[in-house]
Each structure stands twice: as C-alpha cells, then as structure tokens.
Chain A
C-alpha cells in the first residue's frame, strides 16, 4: 500500500476476509481530506455500501492516519492527529473520486484475472476463439461467431480473442 500516493485505504475486499459478519454492522462512509483529530464528525457521508475510505494524494507518509472500526457502534477513531492545513474536498467530489477508484480497482482485478488465466491456459486453446470474463471461460470454438454469441448471452463485457496457434515470438508487422 502506497500511502504517499493516495491509494484506497481499505476496501470491502480487504475487510471481508477479516470479519465478513461484522461488515453488516459497519456504517459506510467516504472521507476525503486531511487526517482528523478528535471524535467529532469528520465530514463523512453515508453511502449505503461497505466501508471505504479515501485519502488525498498529497499526504506525506508521516501524516499516515491509523484507524480502527468498532463494529457494533459504527464508530472509528483516528490516532495521532495532525492539524488540518488544507481545505477538505466537498462530499460530492469525494464520492465521485471514490466511485472512480472503485471502478478502476474492479477493472484492474478483472484484467489481471484474465491475464493470469491466459498465461496458464493459452496453450490448451491454440487456434480457437475464446471468451473470458475474469477467470471464467465463457466459450471456446474455432468459430468467432459462436464465441461472440456466447459472450453476448453471458451479459458481461467478455474479453474475446483468437489464441495464436503458434509459439513464435512477435517481431512487429
């Protein structure tokens, strides 16, 4: 986790392995701004989604906030308070950033799963068209049309490609 470059601090994926049942009791909020001192409202917003926190990209590592979740009371504390020296972003702006980061993370996860799947199974489908959605093989066939039909039926934006039937290295056109 690169705190100094404003990465997502915690996500549902981070929390689920730890306490999936506890997630039901966590109040969802997004916070964008400098570290908070005290126990007052830090400018968070209800989102109706699992816990996420986003921090500004211009944090110094020394300003790294720590936090804990109190599952039953929906509370959280930020330790080692640092005086706020920069204006907070608006809630709407913060939520927009949060949503964009969520979408980007989801797409990165999907792309990575597809790359890993291809690295492991490419050889098994040489010469065929395949449709992949994450690590799920939706269809494979010598017919591109069949594979595109299956990909459409699956509903998601599947990755469709023809697997090369030779192992020669690519040297441009």
Chain B
C-alpha cells in the first residue's frame, strides 16, 4: 500500500475536451490566462502563438523544434517562461507553435509534469497536485 499527499485538489469540468485547467503564463512583466489540457502523452508544453505575441515574445527567436502528432507534425519554438497552474508556479522551457492556426494548449511532461506530483481520479473529475 502506498500513499501520496497533495497540496491542492481541483475539481475539473468533465467534458469531451479533455482534462482542462486554467493556467497563467508569465514572461517579464506580462501575463496571460488560458485553458490548457493536461496531456501525459505530450513530451512538452505547447501553446498557441497568439499567447506568445501577447506576452511580447519573439516566437522565431526561440529554439526551433519539430514535433510529431498522430496526423503529421508541426514546428514550434521554445522559450523560458513561468507557468502558474492552480497556484503552483514553475519556470520552464515551453513551446509556441509557429503556425497561427495551431489550436492546442497542452501541459505535457517536460516543463510541467516533471515539476509536479499529480494524482487523477477521472471518474470523479478530481485532480490532485503538488509541486515537486
């Protein structure tokens, strides 16, 4: 028998859109609030380009990388920002899609899951979270 304690319990909306939480992205003196999906299958955190523009980030000045998806691939650029999710803050390298029409915001392993301990009871729509 194992037991883990968590600092935060969050009831998320049960929907077909995935497990969505509200996050804040901070860069210098700017911040944005947006809904993002928690995706344990995603290698990185990736966000729509519009958020980078609002934060004053020059997207193409970041670290270029191509990512595979189930249906193809996309290009994104990595930048160091701060993430605040449910009151848990961490600095991370996250990616902003090059394509303005990219429509996903995802909290993945590198940059978010690897900074937290997370528990999930999906049939109760409950998320448990602690900073690592």
Contact = CB atoms under 8 A, between A and B. Distances in A.
Q: In this complex, which of A104, A158, A161 has the most chain B Cβ atoms within 10 angstroms of its Cβ? A: A161
A159 B103 contact: no
The interface size bin for chain A is 20 to 34
Contact of A161 (B34, B41, B106): B34
Contacts of B69: 173
A172 B106 CA distance: 10
A88 interface: no
A115 B14 CA distance: 11
A129 B33 contact: no
Interface in A151-173: 157-162, 164, 169-173
B39 A173 contact: yes
B13 A164 contact: no
B22 A172 contact: no
Q: In this complex, which of B13, B33, B104 has the most chain A Cβ atoms within 10 angstroms of its Cβ? A: B33
Given A170-B16, A170-B18, A172-B41, A144 B50 contact: yes
Nearest to A170: B18
Contacts of A164: 17, 103
B32 A160 contact: yes
A164 B17 CA distance: 10
B31 A169 contact: no
A159 B34 contact: yes
A159 B22 contact: yes
Interface string A38-64: 000000000000000000000000000
Nearest to A115: B13
A111 interface: yes
B22 A111 contact: yes
Contact of B103 (A157, A160, A162): A162
A144 to B, nearest CB: 4
B39 A172 contact: yes
A116 to B, nearest CB: 9
Contacts of B114: none
Nearest to B73: A173
Given A160-B33, A169-B16, A148 B70 contact: no
B60 interface: no
Nearest to B55: A148
A157 B31 contact: yes
B39 A158 contact: no
Interface of A: 104, 107, 111, 114-115, 119, 129, 144-145, 148, 157-162, 164, 169-173
19 contacts: A111-B22, A114-B22, A115-B13, A119-B13, A144-B50, A145-B53, A157-B24, A157-B31, A157-B33, A160-B33, A160-B54, A164-B103, A170-B16, A171-B70, A172-B70, A173-B41, A173-B42, A173-B70, A173-B104
